[in-house]
Amino acid sequence: MSSVKFGYMRVSTFDQNLDRQEQQLKEVGCEQIFYEKVTGTKRDRPELNRMLEFLRPGDTVIVTDLTAFLIQ
């Protein structure tokens, strides 16, 4: 089974735009991209959890900004 590149992106407000992040993830070959528009203080990240369910050994998760994973 071949490995898959997954992308994950998050912005904290609905005013922020995901387009730049999405373009960067596509440029590095992400086959599936998950995104959320939630603040960094929310623990509930349904799309992150959904992505984690897809992961298999050897897969790669790529983010454009590590703060996407942080809960502040």
12 is catalytic: yes
Cβ burial of 6 (10 Å; 0-12, 13-18, 19+) is buried
Catalytic pick from 4, 5, 12, 38? 12
Please state the φ and ψ torsions of residue 19, each to the nearest 5 degrees. Answer: -55, -45
Write out the catalytic residue numbers. 12
